[in-house]
Amino acid sequence: MPPSDGMISRKTVLKAAAALGAAPLLVGGGVALAREQAGTGRTPGLTPECHDGDDPTIEQIEGPYFKPDSPLRSSMVNDGPGTWLTVSGYVFGRACRPVPGVLLDFWQADDGGNYDNVGYSFRGHQFTDANGAYKLDTIVPGLYPGRTRHLHVKLQAPGRPVLTTQLYFPGEPRNSTDTIYDARLLMNVQRNGSGETATYDFVLDVPQSPGTPSPTATATPTGGPTGGPTTPPSGSWTPGRAYNAGDRVTYSGASYVCLQAHTAMVGWEPPNVPALWQRP
């Protein structure tokens, strides 16, 4: 169930405040994360996994290549050649408050689509910082038979169960044929020079008290007529149609803004694909 506008507003502000460690940025009446605004010149937006009822990030199979005892490190770029990739984001609990000290254990294929099952190449774990943030420097994983492009990760908040899941890349031809693939785990990926920058925010099933709202919550940046009468929706969401960043559609009576260019597919309905569509 979608939260009320008031809930969205409060959580958006809490999230932005957590991200910035200061007063949130107000852009076009909305709140933007600094990381998504910096240098892009694009309409910024939140990675909205935490917008739509606080559903926890879904679980996916571990697969055959996990190894325990990976090294503590946030960079795997020297493990082999490939296209540079940075993945960053936040880990939230059920009340959309950041969770510090969450273990994230990543593993992935190398540029040739092979896992290192002898050593620890392209394997590493790290912990979210005091703001619930993580950042991994790596390469774009190669393809191997039967799967689309993906990263593996296990997450564990202190004293909580492990969540095993995978992250995906938009625009991959094999996304439509990989039976494990799930659009809810699409990262928001941007080209960045010769590399790629990806973001994804996780939501763990960690009980949280909403607590005292941040003082900045009184800014109430959403719920108003932002982008309303002067920027009407461009029509109903339609499978097969190509959308560009900034396009607006309606779906089930709600408005959405496109975050990155893609061609719509059945299964990629705006509420299901937070990497592609955001509620304005």
3-state secondary structure of 271: helix
What is the per-residue binding string for Fe ion in 19-58, x denoting contact by CB under 5 A?
----------------------------------------
Which residue's CB atom is positioned nearest to Fe ion? 63
How far apart CA 209 and CA 207 sit, in angstroms, is 7
Contact yes or no for 239/220 (Cβ under 8 A) = no
Q: Which residues contact 133 (CB under 8 A, 6 or more apart)?
A: 19, 88, 89, 90, 98
Q: Least distance to Fe ion from the beta carbon of 65, Å?
A: 6
The residue (of 63 and 101) whose beta carbon lies closer to Fe ion is 63
Q: How far is CA 91 from CA 112, 125, 205, 244, in A?
A: 30, 15, 11, 28
Count of residues in contact with Fe ion, rule CB under 5 A: 1
Report the site for Fe ion in 53-72 (rule: CB under 5 A): 63
Q: Least distance to Fe ion from the beta carbon of 115, Å?
A: 7
How far apart CA 276 and CA 79 sit, in angstroms, is 31
The residue (of 178 and 205) whose beta carbon lies closer to Fe ion is 178
The residue (of 56 and 63) whose beta carbon lies closer to Fe ion is 63
Q: Least distance to Fe ion from the beta carbon of 26, Å?
A: 41
Q: Least distance to Fe ion from the beta carbon of 150, Å?
A: 6
How far apart CA 116 and CA 110 sit, in angstroms, is 8
Q: Which residues bind Fe ion (CB under 5 A)?
A: 63
